[in-house]
Amino acid sequence: MFRILKKSLKTGVVTGQHPEAAPTVEASTSAAKDKAKLFRSSLAFRAVDTGSCNACEMEMNALANPVYDIERFGVHIAASPRHADALVVTGPVTVNMEGALKDVYEQTPDPKIVIALGDCAINCGMFKGSYAVTGPVERHIPVDVRIPGCPPRPAEILKALSELREPKP
Protein backbone atom coordinates (compact mmCIF):
# COMPACT_ATOMS: atom_id res chain seq x y z
CA MET A 1 0.00 0.00 0.00
CA PHE A 2 2.85 2.39 0.84
CA ARG A 3 4.44 1.59 -2.51
CA ILE A 4 1.26 2.66 -4.35
CA LEU A 5 0.93 5.82 -2.24
CA LYS A 6 4.59 6.72 -2.84
CA LYS A 7 4.20 6.17 -6.57
CA SER A 8 1.04 8.30 -6.77
CA LEU A 9 2.68 11.16 -4.84
CA LYS A 10 5.76 10.96 -7.03
CA THR A 11 3.76 10.89 -10.28
CA GLY A 12 1.48 13.81 -9.45
CA VAL A 13 -1.56 14.84 -11.47
CA VAL A 14 -1.63 13.13 -14.84
CA THR A 15 -5.03 14.15 -16.12
CA GLY A 16 -4.87 16.67 -18.91
CA GLN A 17 -6.59 20.00 -19.08
CA HIS A 18 -8.93 20.69 -21.94
CA PRO A 19 -7.82 23.52 -24.20
CA GLU A 20 -9.78 26.72 -23.88
CA ALA A 21 -13.15 26.30 -25.51
CA ALA A 22 -13.57 28.04 -28.82
CA PRO A 23 -16.94 26.92 -30.10
CA THR A 24 -18.30 27.88 -33.42
CA VAL A 25 -21.73 29.08 -32.44
CA GLU A 26 -23.37 29.03 -35.82
CA ALA A 27 -26.23 31.47 -35.44
CA SER A 28 -25.88 33.92 -32.66
CA THR A 29 -27.82 36.42 -34.71
CA SER A 30 -28.56 39.94 -33.67
CA ALA A 31 -32.21 38.93 -33.17
CA ALA A 32 -31.10 36.23 -30.72
CA LYS A 33 -28.84 38.71 -28.93
CA ASP A 34 -31.74 41.16 -28.70
CA LYS A 35 -33.90 38.47 -27.11
CA ALA A 36 -31.07 37.50 -24.74
CA LYS A 37 -30.66 41.12 -23.65
CA LEU A 38 -33.60 40.59 -21.30
CA PHE A 39 -31.90 37.62 -19.63
CA ARG A 40 -28.49 39.12 -18.79
CA SER A 41 -28.89 38.77 -15.02
CA SER A 42 -30.46 35.31 -15.06
CA LEU A 43 -31.53 32.71 -17.59
CA ALA A 44 -33.62 29.62 -16.94
CA PHE A 45 -33.59 26.95 -19.61
CA ARG A 46 -35.64 23.83 -20.15
CA ALA A 47 -33.90 20.84 -21.68
CA VAL A 48 -35.93 18.98 -24.31
CA ASP A 49 -34.71 15.63 -25.63
CA THR A 50 -36.39 14.87 -28.94
CA GLY A 51 -34.70 11.54 -29.61
CA SER A 52 -30.97 11.81 -29.01
CA CYS A 53 -28.42 9.27 -27.82
CA ASN A 54 -28.18 11.15 -24.47
CA ALA A 55 -24.55 12.24 -24.95
CA CYS A 56 -25.59 15.90 -25.18
CA GLU A 57 -27.74 15.53 -22.06
CA MET A 58 -24.78 14.14 -20.11
CA GLU A 59 -22.64 17.10 -21.18
CA MET A 60 -25.44 19.51 -20.30
CA ASN A 61 -25.85 17.88 -16.88
CA ALA A 62 -22.11 18.31 -16.35
CA LEU A 63 -22.73 22.07 -16.43
CA ALA A 64 -24.32 21.79 -12.99
CA ASN A 65 -21.39 19.96 -11.37
CA PRO A 66 -18.81 21.79 -9.21
CA VAL A 67 -16.30 22.04 -12.07
CA TYR A 68 -18.45 24.22 -14.35
CA ASP A 69 -21.10 25.40 -11.84
CA ILE A 70 -23.36 27.15 -14.33
CA GLU A 71 -25.47 28.66 -11.57
CA ARG A 72 -22.68 31.07 -10.63
CA PHE A 73 -23.38 32.78 -13.98
CA GLY A 74 -27.09 33.06 -13.24
CA VAL A 75 -28.11 30.19 -15.53
CA HIS A 76 -30.57 27.69 -14.06
CA ILE A 77 -32.30 24.56 -15.30
CA ALA A 78 -36.07 24.94 -15.14
CA ALA A 79 -38.32 21.98 -14.41
CA SER A 80 -41.24 23.36 -16.40
CA PRO A 81 -41.37 25.09 -19.78
CA ARG A 82 -43.71 27.67 -18.22
CA HIS A 83 -40.84 28.82 -16.00
CA ALA A 84 -38.18 28.78 -18.73
CA ASP A 85 -36.67 31.61 -20.74
CA ALA A 86 -34.97 29.29 -23.23
CA LEU A 87 -35.38 25.82 -24.66
CA VAL A 88 -32.30 23.68 -25.21
CA VAL A 89 -33.26 20.98 -27.70
CA THR A 90 -31.07 17.92 -28.22
CA GLY A 91 -31.41 15.20 -30.80
CA PRO A 92 -33.23 14.96 -34.10
CA VAL A 93 -36.98 15.32 -33.91
CA THR A 94 -38.53 11.86 -33.98
CA VAL A 95 -42.05 11.03 -35.10
CA ASN A 96 -43.17 10.46 -31.51
CA MET A 97 -41.65 13.68 -30.14
CA GLU A 98 -42.78 16.11 -32.85
CA GLY A 99 -46.04 17.02 -31.10
CA ALA A 100 -44.40 17.19 -27.69
CA LEU A 101 -41.73 19.60 -28.97
CA LYS A 102 -44.37 21.92 -30.44
CA ASP A 103 -46.36 21.78 -27.18
CA VAL A 104 -43.31 22.69 -25.10
CA TYR A 105 -42.50 25.53 -27.50
CA GLU A 106 -46.02 26.93 -27.17
CA GLN A 107 -45.96 26.62 -23.36
CA THR A 108 -42.72 28.59 -23.04
CA PRO A 109 -43.53 32.28 -22.51
CA ASP A 110 -42.40 34.91 -25.01
CA PRO A 111 -39.73 36.14 -25.57
CA LYS A 112 -38.00 32.79 -25.71
CA ILE A 113 -34.69 31.59 -27.07
CA VAL A 114 -34.39 28.21 -28.77
CA ILE A 115 -30.96 26.57 -28.71
CA ALA A 116 -30.20 23.54 -30.89
CA LEU A 117 -27.51 21.62 -29.01
CA GLY A 118 -25.39 19.12 -30.89
CA ASP A 119 -25.10 17.94 -34.46
CA CYS A 120 -28.22 15.81 -34.25
CA ALA A 121 -30.41 18.79 -33.38
CA ILE A 122 -28.81 20.92 -36.10
CA ASN A 123 -28.76 18.47 -39.03
CA CYS A 124 -29.92 15.07 -37.67
CA GLY A 125 -26.30 13.87 -37.31
CA MET A 126 -25.93 10.10 -37.46
CA PHE A 127 -29.71 9.66 -37.44
CA LYS A 128 -30.15 11.36 -40.83
CA GLY A 129 -32.26 9.25 -43.16
CA SER A 130 -33.84 7.16 -40.43
CA TYR A 131 -37.50 6.25 -40.84
CA ALA A 132 -38.19 7.45 -37.28
CA VAL A 133 -36.74 10.96 -37.75
CA THR A 134 -38.82 13.82 -39.17
CA GLY A 135 -35.91 16.24 -39.44
CA PRO A 136 -33.80 18.72 -37.50
CA VAL A 137 -35.27 21.03 -34.87
CA GLU A 138 -35.35 24.01 -37.24
CA ARG A 139 -37.88 22.26 -39.46
CA HIS A 140 -40.40 22.28 -36.58
CA ILE A 141 -39.71 25.39 -34.48
CA PRO A 142 -37.56 28.50 -35.09
CA VAL A 143 -34.00 28.14 -33.77
CA ASP A 144 -32.02 31.13 -32.51
CA VAL A 145 -28.67 29.55 -31.58
CA ARG A 146 -26.90 26.43 -32.85
CA ILE A 147 -24.10 24.82 -30.82
CA PRO A 148 -22.40 22.14 -32.96
CA GLY A 149 -20.52 19.12 -31.69
CA CYS A 150 -21.09 15.46 -31.10
CA PRO A 151 -21.46 16.10 -28.21
CA PRO A 152 -20.33 19.65 -27.49
CA ARG A 153 -18.16 19.90 -24.39
CA PRO A 154 -19.60 21.67 -21.33
CA ALA A 155 -17.03 24.45 -21.73
CA GLU A 156 -18.28 25.07 -25.28
CA ILE A 157 -21.91 25.20 -24.13
CA LEU A 158 -20.99 27.61 -21.35
CA LYS A 159 -18.98 29.79 -23.75
CA ALA A 160 -21.88 29.91 -26.21
CA LEU A 161 -24.34 30.90 -23.48
CA SER A 162 -22.03 33.62 -22.21
CA GLU A 163 -21.45 34.95 -25.75
CA LEU A 164 -25.18 35.07 -26.27
CA ARG A 165 -25.78 37.01 -23.07
CA GLU A 166 -22.93 39.54 -23.32
CA PRO A 167 -23.82 42.98 -24.68
CA LYS A 168 -23.27 43.84 -28.31
CA PRO A 169 -20.28 46.14 -28.96
Say if residues 113 and 35 touch (Cβ distance below 8 Å).
Answer: yes
Q: How confident is the model at residue 89 (pLDDT cuts 50, 70, 90)?
A: very high
Per-residue pLDDT tens over the stretch 113-169: 899 998 888 888 888 888 888 988 889 999 888 898 888 888 888 888 877 777 655
Say if residues 116 and 122 touch (Cβ distance below 8 Å).
Answer: yes
Cis peptide before 111 (omega within 30 of 0): yes
So where are the chain's domains?
22-163
Provide CATH code, domain 22-163: 3.40.50.12280
Say if residues 59 and 156 touch (Cβ distance below 8 Å).
Answer: no
**pLDDT at 112 (0 to 100):** 86
Among 27-41, 93-107, 141-155, the minimum mean pLDDT is found in 27-41
In the Cβ-directed half-sphere of 23, how many Cα atoms lie within 13 Å?
27
